[in-house]
Amino acid sequence: MPTTIGTILDMFLDITVYLIEIFEVLAFVAFFYGLAIFLSNRESKTLNERGKNIMIWGTVALFVLVSIWGIIGVLQNTFVGNALRPTQPEIVLPLQ
């Protein structure tokens, strides 16, 4: 159980980092899903338009999510310095 405000903020930041990563993956998948719909249904105007819309919103979501990292970096450098730079989770694959 967190006892201080610092530990509560650390937990909040950890959860936020992982949520942003999950949303980035979802936006990336949505973009390619829209691309697949767009390319596979060239004859159908409605499906073609639907694929375009999904690609556009996937691109907008990726832009917003990546911009969040930039805004967090600027705010941290302004108010705290480099001490609390957000780190993205690292995936380590086992060597076989």
Helices and strands counted in the chain (H then E): 2, 0
For residues 72 and 86, the answer to whether their CB atoms sit within 8 Å is yes
Give percent of the chain above pLDDT 70: 80
49 CA to centre of own chain: 25
Predicted TM-score (pTM) of this structure? 0.65
- As a residue count, the chain comes to 96
Q: Are 53 and 35 in contact (CB under 8 A)?
A: no
The helix (run of H) or strand (run of E) holding residue 54 is helix 45-79
DSSP state of 42: S
Q: What is the pLDDT of residues 17-64, one digit of tens each?
A: 788 889 889 999 999 999 999 889 888 889 889 999 999 999 999 999
Assess whether pLDDT exceeds 70 at residue 14. yes
Tokens of 73: 């970096």
Domain ranges within the chain, ordered by starting residue = 5-79
